[in-house]
Amino acid sequence: MFTNDANGPDCWKCSLNVEWHDCSFCPVIQLRQGIVRRNGTDIKPLPTAGLLPHPARRKNLFKPMKKTLLSPRRFRAGFTLVELLTVIAIIAILAAMLLPVLAAAKKAAKKTQARNEMAAIVVAINQYDQDYGRFPVTANEKTFAYAGGNNDFTTGYVPVPSPGLAWPAANGAYSSDNNSNVVAILMDLQNYANGTATSNNGHVYNPKMVKYLNAHPSGYDPIGAPSANPPGGVDNTGVYRDPWGNPYIITMDLSYDDQCSDIVYSLLAVSQSSGGAAGFNGLSNPNYATTPNNYLFHGKVMVWSAGPDGKVDPTKAANSDVNRDNLLSWQ
């Protein structure tokens, strides 16, 4: 505290208080006893400064502004040529691995479809036989079948490895080149899709007008627009084809002895197994020594497909060569 009242009239008694705080200097100036006079002029006293709290207890009234630092722009690098070629190579390898699997799955699906369709044909023929006491064949077909001595009947076109068709002789059994008559009777068709009248026109062979067989029409025209790869289903001429486009081969027991003699699978070269009476796929021929080409199926109906390759060889065994993939309803 300073006292300077004796040094002149222009200065009164003053005091200066100083407050010290840790790490800061906060002077507090306080004027007492009136007004400061300088050079004959009164000066208003300065306002008293409030005591600031200790820094440790002081509230931060102003928050520092946070500066948002802009992140540097990131540049995404594209694929390099090596990386792109590597990805393409991996995709190609995976595709090469999957294609055979997909092809096998598609082939298996077609086989399942063919088996279901053959089973439906067998059921339809047996139901027709129960209703009418006869098989769904025309009068001419029955006449020709019986001409050889009350033999069974095979209908359908069988492709062979060589061009054309050479039906083997199977004990004089009669055969026709397509299954359209059987299909027309079982489906109660009066006209084929091409407009031609069927053998069942007027419901001659199906007077009850029962649709025993439900087969989808394919729209394929083998006469006007033939194809090397026809679709499955019933074409415009009434031929019922398997999923590979080959007609189903159907054999019926017209001799009514509960033994079916198919024109191909009755052959010794096709069905004989181990050189005896037993044949492949459940066929048998007790009289193979005297009547070699008479391997029979114990049942009324046989339906089969030439399979994915569409080929049949009457000189090869049933489980070998092109006959190996044939699908049989009795198998």
Q: Are residues 151 and 20 in the same domain?
A: no
Q: 144 with 150: CB under 8 angstroms?
A: no
Q: Are residues 173 and 317 in the same domain?
A: yes
In a domain, 94, yes or no: no
Q: Calculate the CA 213 to chain-centre distance.
A: 27
Give 166 or 271, the one with higher predicted confidence.
Answer: 271
In a domain, 4, yes or no: yes
Q: What is the pLDDT of residue 18?
A: 53
Q: What is the pLDDT of residue 64?
A: 57
Q: How confident is the model at residue 281 (pLDDT cuts 50, 70, 90)?
A: very high
Look at residues 208, 206, 312 and name the one whose alpha carbon lies nearest to residue 262. 312
Residue 28, pLDDT above cutoff 80: no
In a domain, 39, yes or no: yes
In a domain, 215, yes or no: yes
In a domain, 164, yes or no: yes
Q: For 94-114, what is the mean pLDDT?
A: 90
Q: Are residues 156 and 279 in the same domain?
A: yes
In a domain, 75, yes or no: no
Q: What is the pLDDT of residue 203?
A: 96
Q: Are residues 153 and 28 in the same domain?
A: no
Q: What is the pLDDT of residue 123?
A: 98
Q: 284 with 324: CB under 8 angstroms?
A: no
Q: What is the pLDDT of residue 56?
A: 52
Q: 200 with 188: CB under 8 angstroms?
A: yes
Task: Residue 77: count other Cβ atoms within 10 Å of its Cβ.
Answer: 6
Range of the domain at 21: 1-51
Q: 219 with 236: CB under 8 angstroms?
A: yes
Q: Are residues 120 and 44 in the same domain?
A: no
Q: Are residues 122 and 40 in the same domain?
A: no
In a domain, 230, yes or no: yes
Give 177 or 25, the one with higher predicted confidence.
Answer: 177
Q: What is the pLDDT of residue 126?
A: 97
Q: Are residues 175 and 264 in the same domain?
A: yes
In a domain, 272, yes or no: yes
Look at residues 222, 221, 214, 218 and name the one whose alpha carbon lies nearest to residue 231. 218
- Give this prediction's pTM: 0.70
Domains contained in the chain, number: 2
Q: For 1-9, what is the mean pLDDT?
A: 48
Q: Are residues 157 and 18 in the same domain?
A: no
Look at residues 126, 239, 232 and name the one whose alpha carbon lies nearest to residue 179. 239
Q: Are residues 38 and 120 in the same domain?
A: no
Q: Give the position of tokens 């006469």.
A: 223
The tokens for 267 are 């052959």
Q: What is the pLDDT of residue 1?
A: 46
Q: 13 with 37: CB under 8 angstroms?
A: no
